[in-house]
Every structure is written in structure tokens, then in C-alpha cells.
Amino acid sequence: MTEAGVRRYRALVGIRGVRAPLVLSTLGSIPIGMYGLAILLLVRDMDRSFGEAGLLVGAFSLANAFGAVAQGRFMDRFGQTGVLRAAACAHLPALIGLVVAARGDAPTWVLALFALCGGGSLPQLPAAMRSLWNMLVDDPELRATAYALVAVVFEVAVVTAPALAAGIASLWSPTVAVVIAGGLAVGSALAFTVTGPSRAWRGAPHDVGWLGPLGAPGMRTVFGALVAFGTAVGVVQVAVPAFADARGSAATGGVLLAALSAGSLAGGLIYGGRTWPGSLPVRLPVLLVGLGGAYALLALADSYVTLAALLVLCGLLLAPSTVVGSTLLDTVAPTGTVTEAFAAMVMGIVAGTAIGNALGGSLVESASFEVAVLAAGGIAVAGAAFALLRRRTLA
């Protein structure tokens, strides 16, 4: 990163009152990455099937996506303090109920109910922090750096949290891992609500109907493009472990996907550290076309080393794509819906990833790794075409 880039990040953390919410939002992001593996290990520790474990993890993740949008809508209307505190008060009991039900050999539907409640009530600190940056930073270029920092923090959490969950489960038990994740999420959220910027933040009055920010044409363009983005990512997430499995070591797929995350982390830091040419409505399709081309290059990989290097290249374009999408929300989302709009954007990526996981599995089974990654590239390019055709809605 250049010296100018370092100065940008220093300027952000030097803003009065920002360090406490920044640290707490970082801590509050870690449980998001812990829960998937922790809940899976908890269910398996009770001698239940992988199918049941996957169902419960999926229920938790799906509820988290919809819960993020609901919390975002309430925060935009009523402020952050009451919403985050209410979510925190509901979250930990739901997780404790999940643990007790799992250890008590309760029926699957009971576990699923607790998983849904736990996922829906997970306090949405990344969305809250993104809204604070919108309030604290006036300069558009420095604000883009702030949004890049949100993406980087989330990426670090996603990369490191599963290892933390695995370590806690190995040292103590999956039960402890789930409870610690819950305690971290709740404690961070409650502490976040007493910081000055969070207490001062207020959404603008608005009335956008039941669709919320998705009622705006530009918001639908960003949402649709990032659904395609997430779908392409989901295909690759399945194709890469299949590549490793075909060579005798499925576990190596996790290491290879870490290369993708490392590239995304580097890409986010680099993107946020400088000013880039071109308008945002043009930059989004350009990034998606580049990502599509990078995914297509994965078909040329003939070894772990080559694939890892190509995955780092792909990763360099991941965070910048989401940062551009997040920055566009400042202009395309209706006034007063910034938190809900960010949550809706994330939900689009999550939904797309789920679709991509299913599609990737089907393509790997019926065709090959090469076909799957070429399809991922095509999907990313389709997202670029969608954004380009609707670029006037992003102005």
C-alpha cells in the first residue's frame, strides 16, 4: 500500500470518537464467521447427521440475512441504540436454547426454531458501523476508504473466525464455542450502543413502502448486480474443494479458498487507499467483467500452486466490487434508508452465494471443475451487463 493510502486509513481512525465503535464492530463481526462451524460441530457432537447439521446452519444463515434487513429498517426509523439492545437481549437466550435443545436430544424442528431465532436476532454491527461512517465522514473519497475498511474488517472476521471456533471446540467443546460467539456478539452490541457516535446517529424521516430501499430503481440495479456477484462466488466456493478432492485431498480446498480471501483482503486495502478513475456506475461493471475473466482463468489451473495464485488474483477484485456497491448506496438508496439498504445489499450477496453453491455442486457433478468456473465467469459478466444496461439508474 502507498504512503498516501496509509495516511487515509490513519485519518479515518483519527476521527474523534470513532475508535471505540470501530473496535466493537470488528469484535461483533467475528461471531458471524464463527457460527456456521460452531453450530455444525455442536450438532455433530450430539451424534446427529451432517444433513441435519447443514439444515440448522442454513436456517441460522437465512434468518440472519432477513434479520439484518429488518434490523436495518428499524435502525433507520428509531436509531441504533434500542434496536441493537433488543436484538442482543433476544440473541443470547436463543443460542442457549439451541445448545440446551441439542444436548437434550430435542426434535429437529425445535432446533431449527432456535436457530431461526438466533440468526434473526444476531446484532447487525457491520451495518450499524457503515451508517456511522456515512455520518462521520463528509469527503466522498475518504468515505469510500471507510467503506473499504468495513469490507476488510468483515473479511478478516470471516477468515479468522472459523479457526477460532475450531480452536475453542477442540480445547473445550462446540457448546463453549457457540456460547462464546453469542457472548461476544451480545457484549459487543451492548457496548457499541453506549458509544457517542452510535447514540448520536439518527436516520432521516422517510416513507418508501413495504419494499423499502428496493423500491428505488438504482437500488434494484445494485442488488441485482451483486446477486450475480454472489452467485459467481458461490459456484467457485464449491468448485475449488472439488478440484482438491479430485486430486485426493478435499481438505486442501479450505487452504485454497483462504487464498481467495487473502486476495480479497489485499484488494480491499489497496482499493480504499487511493482514488480511482471513472465514475461508480461504470466502475461496477468494469470490476465484474474483470472478475468474470479472472474466474474463467481458473479453468487453466493444473496444480494447487497455479490455482492458489489465480485465486489470489480473483480475490483482488472481490472487496473492491462490494465497496463500489456499498458506495453507490449513498446515491441510489432513498433518503433515510442507508442501514436497511446496506443490509439488503448483503442479503443479495448471501442469497446469490447460496444459489451459486447449489449450482456449483450440480455443475461439478454433471460436468467438471472447468465448466463450473467458466460458468462462474459468465455469471459475473452477466451481472456486469445488467449493471451497464441499467447504469442510468445509478446516476
User: Identical fold at 9-200 and 212-394?
Assistant: yes
Q: What whole-number distance in Å separates Cα of residue 51 and Cα of residue 44?
A: 10
Are the C-beta atoms of 345 and 226 separated by less than 8 Å? yes
Which of 33, 32, 25, 393 lies closest to 223, judged by CA? 393
Element (H, E) at 18: none
Superfamily designation of domain 9-200: MFS general substrate transporter like domains (1.20.1250.20)
Position 384 scores a pLDDT of 96
Position 174 scores a pLDDT of 87
Q: Which residues contact 271 (CB under 8 A, 6 or more apart)?
A: 148, 319, 320, 323
CATH architecture of 212-394: Up-down Bundle (1.20)
Q: What whole-number distance in Å separates Cα of residue 378 and Cα of residue 383?
A: 9
Give the domain ranges of the chain: 9-200, 212-394
Are the C-beta atoms of 148 and 323 separated by less than 8 Å? yes
pLDDT digits (tens), the chain, 395 positions: 567 667 888 888 888 888 899 899 989 988 887 887 788 788 878 877 767 777 787 788 888 888 988 898 888 888 899 999 999 999 999 999 999 998 888 888 899 999 999 999 999 998 898 888 888 888 877 887 888 788 777 767 766 677 788 788 888 888 998 999 999 999 999 999 999 999 988 766 655 555 667 788 999 999 999 999 989 988 888 788 788 878 776 556 667 877 888 888 888 888 887 777 778 889 999 999 999 999 999 999 988 899 999 999 999 998 889 889 888 988 888 877 778 888 888 888 878 877 887 788 888 888 888 999 999 999 999 999 999 999 899 87
The structure's pTM equals 0.77
Q: Which residues contact 383 (CB under 8 A, 6 or more apart)?
A: 224, 225, 226, 227, 228, 229, 232, 288
